[in-house]
């Protein structure tokens, strides 16, 4: 399964700076295989850190918090078993969906509880899935329309309705969540719209990278892979409810 073009493509699209792996045998074998894939296709010798803390159910949250502080600004690939990721999901996002075998999901690096944050993350992940579907069929016009339509949601809905959160005094958890979500969405959006708006996407993307320490930070957006989108972030019920509210407001 790890030899399939689809899995190899997903591994390369992560663009990881470092790998943290559980000491459990299957996780360690997966980490080594991914290291070989990255070496073969990108000629990069990525470091693997093996830790038993990713194999202990009651210690995952403590490990994750320390790891986020140590690897701030870098892209970290975690390899472990479903119970450990379930614990992190429940803490940082709270989703009931289980992670499948060899499924690649981007874990939140901050606690996401605000409905606005969950909504815009659902929208950007849905946009990524829809865009890939349209581009795979060479329907570039519908892909471009989807890219353009997202601007209204981001600017007139998310940013406008989050202004009080951005302007709040101090740095409480809600403000941190708002800034992190906006950064995540903008970075993803620049990668998605790069084929359609190459110059502005390049400028904004490189400006965003000044806040990161990744080894890929100075690489052009046009040399980056499309970001992996995940169904785990797409709350269908929330999207439908928000769409109904927007329709009522526009009447």
Residues spanned by the domain of 121: 115-250
pLDDT computed for residue 1 by the predictor: 67
Residue 53 lies in a domain: yes
Same domain as 132, residue 83: no
44 and 131 share one domain: no
Q: Mean pLDDT across the stretch 232-251?
A: 86
Whether residues 84 and 125 share a domain: the answer is no
Q: Average pLDDT, stretch 14-28?
A: 91
Q: Which residue has the tokens 């472990």?
A: 80
pLDDT in tens, 180-234: 999 999 999 999 999 999 999 999 999 998 887 766 677 899 999 999 999 889 9
Share of the chain above pLDDT 70, in %: 96
Is 175 contained in some domain?
Answer: yes
Structural domain contains residue 192? yes
- Average pLDDT value for residue range 35-56: 91
Has residue 99 got a pLDDT over 80? no
Paired residues of 76 in beta bridges: 18
Do 126 and 74 lie in one domain? The reply is no
The pLDDT assigned to 216 comes to 67
Confidence of residue 97 (pLDDT cuts 50, 70, 90): low
Q: Which of 59, 92, 125 is the endpoint of a domain?
A: 92
Q: Are residues 169 and 80 in the same domain?
A: no
pLDDT at position 92: 84
173-193 vs 115-136: helix crossing angle, rounded to 10: 10
Contact at 8 Å (CB) between 143 and 135?
yes
CA 56 to CA 63: how far, in whole Å?
10
Q: In this predicted structure, what is the pLDDT of residue 100?
A: 73
Given this model, what pLDDT does residue 105 score? 84
pTM to 2 decimal places:
0.90
Residue 105 domain flag: no
Do 128 and 198 lie in one domain? The reply is: yes
Decide if 143 is inside a domain.
yes
pLDDT of residue 184: 95
Task: Look up residue 220 and give its DSSP letter.
Answer: -
Question: Highest mean pLDDT range out of 46-55, 87-96, 194-203?
Answer: 194-203
Confidence of residue 16 (pLDDT cuts 50, 70, 90): very high
- Shared domain for 187 and 246, answered yes or no, is yes
* Closest to 204 measured CA to CA, from 194, 195, 216: 194
- 229: DSSP letter: P
Note whether 84 and 204 are same-domain residues.
no
Q: Model confidence over 29-39: pLDDT tens digits? A: 999 999 999 99
Domain boundary among 92, 107, 141: 92
**What token pair was written down for 151?**
């601007």
What are the phi and psi torsion angles at 48 (to 5°)? -115, 125
Asked if 74 and 15 sit in the same domain, the reply is: yes
177 pLDDT more than 80:
yes
Residues 195, 119 share a domain: yes
Domain total of the chain: 2
What six digits make up the tokens of 7? 């899995």
Residues 134 and 48 in one domain: no
Phi-psi region of 189 (alpha: psi -120 to 50; beta: other; left: phi over 0): alpha
Round to the nearest angstrom and report the end-to-end CA distance of the chain. 51
pLDDT at 96: 62
Q: Report if residue 215 sits inside a domain.
A: yes
Identify the residue with better confidence: 35 or 96. Answer: 35
Does residue 70 fall inside a structural domain? yes
Assess if residue 126 is contained within a domain: yes
- What is the CATH number for 236? 1.10.730.10
Mean pLDDT of 134-141: 93
Q: Are 155 and 53 within one domain?
A: no
Examine the fold and report which residue of 54, 77, 92 is the final residue of a domain before the chain moves on. Answer: 92
Q: State the sign of the Cα–Cα–Cα–Cα dihedral 101, 103, 108, 111.
A: negative
* pLDDT over 80 at 94, yes or no: no
Residue 7's contacts (CB-CB under 8 Å, 6 or more residues apart) are 1, 102
pLDDT at 190: 97
CATH no. for residue 29? 3.40.50.1240
């Amino acid at each position: 399964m790890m030899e399939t073009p689809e899995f190899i493509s997903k591994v390369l699209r992560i663009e990881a700076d470092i790998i943290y792996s559980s000491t459990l045998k299957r996780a360690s074998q997966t980490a080594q295989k991914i290291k070989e894939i990255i070496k073969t296709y990108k000629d990069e010798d990525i470091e693997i850190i093996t830790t038993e803390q990713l194999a202990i159910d009651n210690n995952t949250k403590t490990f994750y918090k320390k790891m986020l502080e140590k690897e701030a600004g870098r892209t970290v690939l975690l390899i472990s078993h479903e119970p450990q990721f379930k614990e992190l999901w429940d803490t940082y996002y709270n989703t009931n969906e289980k992670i499948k075998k060899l499924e690649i999901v981007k874990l939140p690096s901050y606690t996401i509880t605000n409905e606005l944050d969950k909504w815009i993350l659902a929208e950007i992940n849905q946009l990524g899935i829809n865009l890939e579907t349209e581009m795979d069929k060479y329907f570039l016009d519908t892909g471009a329309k989807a890219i353009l339509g997202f601007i209204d949601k981001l600017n007139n809905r998310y940013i406008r309705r989050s202004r009080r959160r951005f302007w709040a005094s101090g740095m409480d958890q809600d403000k941190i969540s708002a800034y992190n979500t906006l950064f995540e969405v903008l970075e993803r959006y620049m990668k998605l719209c790069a084929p359609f708006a190459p110059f502005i996407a390049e400028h904004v993307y490189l400006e965003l990278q000044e806040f990161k320490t990744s080894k890929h930070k100075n690489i052009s957006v046009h040399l980056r892979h499309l970001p992996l989108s995940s169904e785990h972030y797409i709350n269908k019920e929330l999207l439908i409810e928000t769409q109904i509210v927007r329709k009522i407001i526009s009447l």
